[in-house]
């Protein structure tokens, strides 16, 4: 476990996007970004469906795993994904567990925020 942070509270927020699979990291485009480009065909629509099914299943797997290693998550659903946030477990403790379980940085986006407990910056 990480050392207790005496001067700040860390909020770890994991975003599980519905329509992205890390393409933005490689400067690629998800099928959802290109859906209006070119002619829509039944095959293209099937590929989009397969991509989306894979994303949602992977999101569910990440979410299940996070909830299995920690039980104090705030879960918020937005139009483009699910946010899981906690202030009671540090992301430095979560990331190695995610990696050991076979999840990669393409499966989630991590946001962290620190709030001072006391004192001045």
The DSSP line for 55-79 is HHHHHHHHHHHHHHH-S--EEEEET
**pLDDT given at position 10:** 83
- Identify the bridge partners of residue 85 per DSSP, sorted by sequence position: 13, 74
Q: What is the pLDDT of residues 32-66, one digit of tens each?
A: 888 888 888 999 999 999 999 999 999 999 999 99
Q: 99-110 pLDDT, tens per residue?
A: 999 999 999 999
Say if CB 51 and CB 21 are below 8 A apart: yes
Given this model, what pLDDT does residue 81 score? 95
**What's the pTM value of the predicted model, to 2 decimals?**
0.82
Mean of all residue pLDDT scores within the chain: 88
Task: Summarize pLDDT for 59-89 with one digit per residue, the tens.
Answer: 999 999 999 999 999 999 999 999 999 999 9
């Amino acid at each position: 476990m990480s050392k207790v942070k005496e001067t700040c509270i860390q909020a770890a927020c994991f975003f599980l996007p519905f329509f992205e699979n890390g393409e933005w990291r490689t400067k690629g485009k998800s099928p959802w970004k290109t859906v209006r480009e070119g002619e829509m065909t039944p095959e293209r629509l099937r590929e989009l469906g397969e991509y989306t099914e894979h994303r949602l299943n992977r999101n569910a797997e990440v979410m299940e795993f996070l909830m299995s290693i920690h039980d104090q998550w705030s879960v918020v659903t937005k139009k483009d994904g699910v946010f899981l946030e906690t202030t009671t477990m540090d992301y430095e403790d979560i990331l190695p567990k995610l990696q050991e379980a076979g999840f990669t940085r393409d499966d989630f986006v991590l946001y962290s925020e620190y709030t001072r407990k006391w004192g001045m910056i």
